[in-house]
């Protein structure tokens, strides 16, 4: 194989990423796996149904935000061993609850967000209080701040520069999100899962996330559990190198992606945010309280993704001195 060939191989993931990211043509979605169309014959050899463990009697529906497990629909993707897709298992009020947690509470201390570099914590605490998102006649500085929100980290805070977790950059993981993640983990057969770190991403209609693997966690045997709310996304799931052609999947509000087994360390990306193609998200806030109205307005042109990880090996409560350097 010539050098030229190997360079082309490495670029397969990037070429697919560019194809879906490109904004100067109508996007061809015919290859995208759409779990709203599971009966469509074009999907038949690509996906299969997964039987979940109905353990809700042991794991209480977290904050009462989910439908009973017997109503969840879950699928494998043949080309991506270990990956499990769960089609929106939330109630409408449940989705509103998690969207509110991500917008109103998770950006506040002790958590870390990109806004910390710009403003004092009390500005973040108060950014939703005057509902500046609804009343455009008010002072717009809160709306500006909200629009600048890009990420929040929870638990072991992701270090964007070194990608190494440390005990000195750890705060309490939100107990509600820990229960939610455990419920999903247990249903998909990972009943020892402990939520210890998360990144909450806030996407706008032109945002994207380029191809990467998540490998900062010391223990990689437990899954990454990823929740999507708001506008839809094209998610690319590849393999262990960028030479593996990624599978495009559409993720909609409420959908849960579990990256377990081989897919835990696979390349993945979000090349494109898509406007929701049905009334689903608008319906969520159709009849909502005044307090929720601002969140409804925000999410009408944004996507929130929460991805939750276990960092430590089973039973280990803290990082030991050698742990940080053990990751690359
Ligand atoms: C991440 C990630 C995927 C998504 O933050 O590491 O892969 O669906 N997010 O936004
Ligand atoms: Mn990732």
Domain 3-114+149-309 has CATH 1.10.645.10: no
**Cα(40) to centroid(ligand 1), Å:** 27
| 235 pLDDT higher than 90 | yes
Rg (CA), the chain: 20
Among 87-91, 234-238, 321-325, the range scoring the smallest mean pLDDT is 321-325
Number of helices and strands in the chain (H, E): 9, 13
**Cα(307) to centroid(ligand 1), Å:** 6
In this predicted structure, what is the pLDDT of residue 133? 74
Q: What is the mean pLDDT of the chain?
A: 90
Span 308-322, average pLDDT: 92
When pLDDT is cut at 50, 70 and 90, the band that residue 157 belongs to is very high
In this predicted structure, what is the pLDDT of residue 58? 56
| 193 pLDDT higher than 90 | yes
Structure tokens at 33: 């796996």
In this predicted structure, what is the pLDDT of residue 41? 80
State pLDDT tens for residues 39-87: 888 888 899 999 998 876 555 566 689 999 989 999 999 999 999 999 9
Tell me if residue 292 falls in helix, strand or coil.
helix
The answer to whether 232 touches 253, Cβ cutoff 8 Å, is yes
Structure tokens at 253: 């509000």
When pLDDT is cut at 50, 70 and 90, the band that residue 138 belongs to is low
Which residues are near ligand 2, the ion (C-beta closer than 5 Å)? 214
State pLDDT tens for residues 110-132: 999 999 998 999 999 999 986 66
Which of 305, 306, 308 is the pocket-test mutation for ligand 1 (most atoms within 8 Å of CB)?
Answer: 305
| 327 pLDDT higher than 90 | no
CB count in 10 Å sphere of residue 253 = 24
| Residues 14, 228, 233, 261, CA torsion sign | positive
Which residue is listed with tokens 């835990």?
264
Nearest CA among 68, 55, 65 for reference residue 90: 65
Which of 13, 216, 307 is the pocket-test mutation for ligand 1 (most atoms within 8 Å of CB)?
Answer: 307
In this predicted structure, what is the pLDDT of residue 56? 64
CB count in 10 Å sphere of residue 54 = 13
The answer to whether 82 touches 262, Cβ cutoff 8 Å, is yes
Looking only at the bridges linking them, the beta strands covering 197-204 and 302-309 are antiparallel
Q: In whole angstroms, give the CA distance from residue 98 to residue 322.
A: 36
What ligand 1 atom has the least distance to the C-alpha of 233? 8
| 225 pLDDT higher than 90 | yes
Ligand with smallest separation from the Cα of 270: 1
Residues with a CB atom less than 6 Å from ligand 1: 199, 201, 209, 214, 226, 228, 233, 235, 268, 270, 305, 307
Residues shown for the chain: 328
The answer to whether 85 touches 74, Cβ cutoff 8 Å, is yes
Which of 21, 152, 226 is the pocket-test mutation for ligand 1 (most atoms within 8 Å of CB)?
Answer: 226
Q: In whole angstroms, give the CA distance from residue 302 to residue 248.
A: 20
In this predicted structure, what is the pLDDT of residue 124? 94
73-77 β-sheet, strand order: 47-49, 73-77, 83-87, 256-259, 224-230, 302-309, 197-204, 151-155, 112-113
Span 212-235, average pLDDT: 97
CB count in 10 Å sphere of residue 292 = 17
- Percent of the chain, pLDDT > 90? 74
Establish whether the linkage from the previous residue to 262 is cis, with ω within 30° of 0.
Answer: no
| 268 pLDDT higher than 70 | yes
């Amino acid at each position: 194989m010539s050098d030229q060939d190997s360079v082309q191989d490495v670029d397969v993931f990037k070429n697919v990423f560019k194809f879906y990211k490109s904004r100067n043509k109508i996007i061809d979605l015919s290859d995208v796996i759409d779990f709203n169309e599971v009966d469509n014959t074009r999907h038949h050899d690509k996906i299969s149904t997964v039987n979940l463990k109905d353990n809700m009697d042991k794991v209480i529906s977290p904050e009462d935000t989910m439908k009973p497990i017997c109503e969840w629909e879950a699928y494998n993707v043949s080309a991506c061993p270990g990956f499990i897709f769960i089609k929106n298992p939330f109630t409408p009020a449940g989705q509103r609850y998690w969207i509110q947690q991500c917008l109103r509470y998770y950006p506040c201390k002790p958590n870390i967000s990109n806004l910390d570099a710009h403003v004092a914590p009390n500005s973040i605490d108060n950014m939703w209080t005057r509902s500046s998102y609804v009343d455009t006649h008010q002072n717009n500085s809160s709306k500006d701040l909200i629009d600048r929100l890009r990420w929040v980290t929870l638990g072991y805070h992701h270090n964007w520069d070194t990608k190494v977790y440390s005990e000195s950059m750890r705060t309490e993981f939100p107990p509600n999100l820990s229960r939610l993640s455990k419920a999903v983990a247990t249903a998909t057969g990972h009943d020892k899962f402990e939520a210890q770190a998360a990144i909450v991403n806030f996407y706008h209609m032109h945002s994207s996330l380029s191809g990467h693997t998540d490998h900062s966690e010391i223990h990689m045997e437990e899954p990454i559990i990823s929740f999507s709310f708001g506008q839809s996304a094209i998610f690319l799931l590849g393999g262990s190198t960028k030479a593996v052609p990624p599978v495009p999947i559409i993720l909609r509000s409420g959908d849960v992606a579990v990256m377990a087994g081989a897919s835990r360390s696979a390349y993945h990306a979000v090349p494109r945010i898509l406007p929701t193609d049905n009334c689903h998200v608008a319906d969520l806030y159709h009849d909502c309280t005044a307090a929720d109205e601002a969140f409804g307005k925000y999410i009408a042109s944004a996507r929130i993704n929460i991805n939750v990880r276990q960092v430590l090996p089973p039973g280990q409560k803290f990082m030991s001195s050698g742990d940080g350097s053990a990751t690359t």
